Amino acid sequence: MSTPFDRELEERLVRYCSIDTQADAASPTSPSTDKQYDLLNVLVEELRALGVDDVQLTDYGAVLATLPATVSSNVPTVAFLAHVDTAPAFNATGVKPLVYHNYDGGDIRFPDAPDLVLSPAQFPYLAQKVGDDIVTASGTTLLGADDKAGVAIVMAMVQHLLAHPAIAHGPLRICFTPDEEIGRGVHPQLPADLKADIAYTLDGAELGEIVYETFSADMGVVQVRGVSVHPGQAKDHLVNALHLAAKIVDTLPNARLTPETTAGREGLYFSLPHERQRGGGRAAFRPARFERDGLQAHGDLLKQVCATIQAAAPRAQIECTITPQYRNMRYWLEDDMRPVELARAAARLIGIEPTSTPTRGGTDGSRLTELGVPTPNLFTGMQNIHGPLEWISVQDMARATELCLKLAELWSGTHGNFTQHNGDASEAATGTAVDRLG
C-alpha cells in the first residue's frame, strides 16, 4: 500500500546510503572518521533549507535542532534520534542502492555478486512484503539502512511537521549521532545538549517493534605483541601473536557463546579481529548479557585467561583492557514505562499492533536511558544489517514516519482518550500520561 511518504523516503534513503560513513573503532576521534561529516553536513544544510533556525553541529559530531511547540501548554520535550555511521563489519565504500518497486515475492539477485541470493524462503519477513518497494545494495557492500533509514524517517517527519503547522506537538528535538556502531554514539555532553525529557531512537527492525530491553555489554580489547623473525630462522625465536590470540579464544570456557550459536536471551562472549600491527595485533572481545549480574565476571575471566597465556609465553606482551559500553535500558524504563506505553498507543492508533522483543545488541538509547533520558527504540524496517544481504521496505519506513508523527501528537496531550490493550497499563487519557511526566 502506497503512502504519501514513499517517494520522499526512497529518495532520501538512496541518497544517504550512497554516502560512505563507516565508523572506525581504532580511531580515538569523535566522529571516528572524517567521512561521517559528509552526511552530517548534508543534514545540517537540509534542516536549514527546511527553515529550522537553531541547527547545530557539535564539536563531537552530533547534529542538533529544534522544532518549536505548536501548543501553548507545558508538555515534555521529546527527541527523535538516528545515527549516521555504518558498521565496520563489512565494506561500505561505493554503495549502489537498488530499488525493486512492487516486489513480486521472488528471489532477489545482486548485479555485482551474481551468486548472492536474497530469498523469501530463507528470510520469511521478506515474503510478507509482496507489493512493497524493496531497497538493497548491489552485492559487494552493505546498504547502510542501519541507520540511514532512521535518518530518512526523522527528516521526513521534520519536513511534514514544518509543512503542516496545524499539527499539534510540543517542543521536539532532532538529533543525528556519529559512531553508534562502535558504541560511542552518546558523547558525555549529549544528554545535556539534547535538552529532552524523553527520546526515541529510530534504529529498530520489523514493523511494530518497540524495544525497551537491550543487551548490557562491555568491550574487552586484547593487545598481543609477539616477536617477528624471518620464517627461515624462526625456530625457537618466533613468537606468533596470532597463535597466542587463538589460544586465548580456545581457553575461554564459554567461547562457544558466539552470535551464530546463540539466540533469545542467551548471552554472548565473542571475539572479532580489530587491528593488525607489525609483530602483533589487537582483538576485541565483547561480553554481553541482558542482565548486569555476571558481566564483570566475564571481563575478569578474560583478564585471567590473558594472564595465563602471558605466563606461558614470557617473551610476548599481552595487555587486556575492559571498558564499559552500555547497559540494558530496561533497568530504568521498567520503573517508568510511559514512553513505551505511549509508543504502543501511537502504533495502535495508526493500525499497527506493537511488539517488544529484546534486542540482542545496544542502541544509543541504551546509554541515553542510563544517563537519565528514557529512550525506547522504534522500528524502521531494516533487515539483515551489517552485510551484503541488507534490505528494507520503503513502506515499513513510511509507517515508522507515521508512528513518529502520532507520537509527537500524543505527547502534546491534545489527542484525547485512548485505551491500552493486551495487558499493558491503562491510561484514562493521553494527557494524563503527559502531565505525570511533565
| Residues 146 and 11 occupy one common structural domain | yes
DSSP letter assigned to residue 86: B
CA distances 256 to 86, 215, 253, 267, 288, Å, are 27, 18, 8, 11, 13
| Residues 197 and 234 occupy one common structural domain | no
Helix or strand holding residue 201 (H, E) = strand 198-204
| Residues 87 and 197 occupy one common structural domain | yes
| Residues 158 and 12 occupy one common structural domain | yes
pLDDT single digits (tens) 5-19: 999 999 999 999 999
> 76 lies in which domain range?
6-214+329-437
pLDDT single digits (tens) 69-115: 999 989 999 999 999 999 998 999 999 999 999 999 999 999 999 99
Structural domain includes residue 201: yes
Share of the chain above pLDDT 70, in %: 84
| Residues 289 and 166 occupy one common structural domain | no
**Which pLDDT belongs to residue 50?**
97
- Active centre residues (catalytic): 85, 180
Structural domain includes residue 267: yes
Structural domain includes residue 304: yes
Whether residue 57 has pLDDT greater than 80: yes
Set of cell numbers at residue 234: 624462526
| Residues 206 and 225 occupy one common structural domain | no
Structural domain includes residue 135: yes
Whether residue 62 has pLDDT greater than 50: yes
Supply the DSSP string of 223-254, one letter for each residue. Answer: EEE-B---GGG-TTT-B-HHHHHHHHHHH-TT
Structural domain includes residue 250: yes
**The CATH number of the domain where 284 resides is what?**
3.30.70.360
**The CATH number of the domain where 406 resides is what?**
3.40.630.10
| Residues 31 and 146 occupy one common structural domain | yes
Whether residue 47 has pLDDT greater than 60: yes
Whether residue 130 has pLDDT greater than 70: yes
| Residues 134 and 207 occupy one common structural domain | yes
| Residues 37 and 52 occupy one common structural domain | yes
Of the three residues 325, 351, 372, the one that is the final residue of a domain is 325
Whether residue 296 has pLDDT greater than 60: yes
pLDDT single digits (tens) 186-228: 999 999 999 999 999 999 999 999 998 877 777 778 888 888 8
**Which pLDDT belongs to residue 346?**
98
Of the three residues 325, 345, 374, the one that is the final residue of a domain is 325
In whole angstroms, give the CA distance from residue 308 to residue 67: 56
Structural domain includes residue 392: yes
pLDDT single digits (tens) 328-353: 888 888 889 999 999 999 999 999 99
Structural domain includes residue 1: no
Helix or strand holding residue 218 (H, E) = strand 216-225
Of the three residues 299, 325, 351, the one that is the final residue of a domain is 325
| Residues 245 and 374 occupy one common structural domain | no
| Residues 149 and 220 occupy one common structural domain | no
| Residues 67 and 204 occupy one common structural domain | yes
Residue type, 55: V
Instruction: Band the pLDDT of 261: cuts 50, 70, 90.
Output: low
**Which pLDDT belongs to residue 254?**
57
Number of domains in the chain: 2
